Structure 1
Amino acid sequence: MKMKAGCSQLKPVVLILIFNSCFYASYQLTGLQQVCELCSGAVLNGSAVGMFCSSSAGRIDGRCCLRNNNTGDPEHIIGLDLSNCSLTHMEDLQGASTALIIDLSRNPIVNISDTAFQGFIELNYTILPQDIFCPGGNTSWEMVEVKDGNRLCEGQKNMCNQTGQLSLTCPENSLCGPYGPGFFECSCVDSYHGYKCLREGEFPALQVFGPLGASTVVISVLLWVTQRRKAKSL
């Protein structure tokens, strides 16, 4: 018979998870604000992102289209328009990892980091300067077209096999899942965890999240102290 953790063991884990969730939500909101203000101006109604936002009943915030929701969860970016922003490099857009459409056209981009779109599993439409390959390579998309000086990448492909079973590139006791254009991730199946999903049994939440919670508290305190010092110096 499988043993269950007692209530006294679970309470610290729950509190740590709640604290970490609040901290992550705050961090996520900051990342969202940064990416929406990477370029001055706002999404234009007649642009590709603007029309998508209108048809999706989204809300414009700077260069972003945000999903309207009443759940109280942190807002999610569903569209990002960074066209004509004089961008030459693109390395970090993680604040927009929930976007379905991204427009980077009319920029003198010479390089896009290989990991810039890692984790963008919802991304379905990307507009780039015609000299830039689609994220993950053109083979990571259902359709690639060069039109009016832009490269259009539509329909992100799933990098895992199409059987829905174990992927040859994932270890035993794991499943393959999409993780952005050209990327995939291997997740352990139920009751397995650890390196290459070799450990079977319940995940040791207290041992793992305990130190993580402590480090999060330290970081939060340091950030609070820094903000207080800045406020006093003003």
Structure 2
Amino acid sequence: MGAFVVLLLPLLPWAARGAAVCGLCPGPVRNSSIVSRFCESRAGTESEGRCCRERGARPERLLGLDLSDCSLHSLPPELAEATAAIVLDLTGNPLTALPDGSFLGFTRLQRLAVPVALPCPGGSSAWVAVTTSGSSRLCQDQRNPCNSSGELAWPCPENAACAPDGPGLAQCLCHSPFHGYKCLREGAFPVLLFCGILGAVTLSLSLLLWGTQRRKAKTP
């Protein structure tokens, strides 16, 4: 049963999975947050907890997330639910670091406010503008590492194309029909075979665990 639930998790609608991050901090979006100013200037938005969403969109698209003054000592795992955010506020938190890859997948993020003691993720070269004001640092407008030279240049193997994957981050996507390590294999990926093997392994493990637990339950 547990394995079945795990397999269903990726199929849950985005709105259901994104609700947790909006309730990480009590109260609504703070008036002093860059998220509040952004959403007030954009038509067709609505607030839910510390989130600003696009009204009427299905699934509802998160545009802004205000996690300012939340007493965060580290980035919460729920942050991964907000990869569609355009604006994100992390100011007023005792954060000591932003680990590499913390903003993997945040390709739409254009305004990020962090405590002034922290650098912008990906470094200053990953952003068009970096400014400081009081106790906060504002990182604005991501640069595309695939269209850059020098420090931000992102090499991809032959038969692959570069695609942005967050501040200072990129991924290499294989051109069809290439796939596999460094896109060296040619031909269609065996989806049916892969899914069949994955399903068989999952079913076998589930039956094994079920049988083991049943024997333990019968043991006096």
TM range, smaller chain: 0.7 to 0.9
1:59 to 41, 46, 63: 46
Structure 2 residue 101 is the aligned partner of structure 1 residue 127: no
Q: 1:218 to 1:36 in 2, by over 3 A?
A: farther
Alignment coverage as a number of residue pairs: 196
What SS does structure 2 have at the residue aligned with 1:89?
Answer: coil
Q: 1:168 to 1:129 in 2, by over 3 A?
A: closer
TM-score, reference length from structure 1: 0.74
1:76 to 61, 72, 78: 61
Shift of residue 59 of structure 1?
1.4
Residue 65 of structure 1 contacts residue 78 of structure 1 at CA under 8 Å; is this kept in 2?
A: yes
Q: 1:59 to 1:177 in 2, by over 3 A?
A: same
What SS does structure 1 have at the residue aligned with 2:146?
Answer: coil
Which AA in structure 1 matches 2:90? L
Q: 1:106 to 1:46 in 2, by over 3 A?
A: closer
Structure 2 residue 174 is the aligned partner of structure 1 residue 188: yes
Q: Which sections of structure 1, spanning at least 5 residues, go unmatched?
A: 1-19, 220-234
Residue 86 of structure 2 contacts residue 109 of structure 2 at CA under 8 Å; is this kept in 1?
A: yes
Structure 2 matches for 1:10-25, cutoff 5 A?
23-25=9-11
Q: 1:216 to 1:75 in 2, by over 3 A?
A: farther
What SS does structure 2 have at the residue aligned with 1:160?
Answer: helix
Residue 90 of structure 1 contacts residue 112 of structure 1 at CA under 8 Å; is this kept in 2?
A: yes
1:99 to 71, 85, 95: 85
Residue 161 of structure 2 contacts residue 174 of structure 2 at CA under 8 Å; is this kept in 1?
A: yes
Aligned to 2:191: 205
TM-score, reference length from structure 2: 0.78
Shift of residue 120 of structure 1?
0.4
Residue 60 of structure 1 contacts residue 66 of structure 1 at CA under 8 Å; is this kept in 2?
A: yes
Structure 2 residue 114 is the aligned partner of structure 1 residue 114: no
Q: 1:182 to 1:168 in 2, by over 3 A?
A: closer
Q: Write the deviation string for residues 109-150 of structure 1: whole angstroms up to 9, x where unpaired.
A: 112221210110000000111111111112110100111221
1:142 to 103, 106, 128: 128
Q: 1:216 to 1:144 in 2, by over 3 A?
A: farther
What SS does structure 2 have at the residue aligned with 1:142?
Answer: strand
Once residues 211 and 27 of structure 1 are traced to their aligned partners in structure 2, the CA distance between those partners, rounded to angstroms, is 26
Q: Write the deviation string for residues 153-195 of structure 1: whole angstroms up to 9, x where unpaired.
A: 00101111359xxx86211100001000011000001211112
Shift of residue 89 of structure 1?
1.1
Once residues 96 and 122 of structure 1 are traced to their aligned partners in structure 2, the CA distance between those partners, rounded to angstroms, is 10
Once residues 207 and 67 of structure 1 are traced to their aligned partners in structure 2, the CA distance between those partners, rounded to angstroms, is 39
The Cα RMSD (Å) is 2.8
Which AA in structure 2 matches 1:78? L
Q: Which sections of structure 2, spanning at least 5 residues, go unmatched?
A: 1-5, 206-220
Structure 2 residue 94 is the aligned partner of structure 1 residue 87: no
Aligned to 1:229: none
What SS does structure 2 have at the residue aligned with 1:132?
Answer: coil
Alignment identity in percent? 41
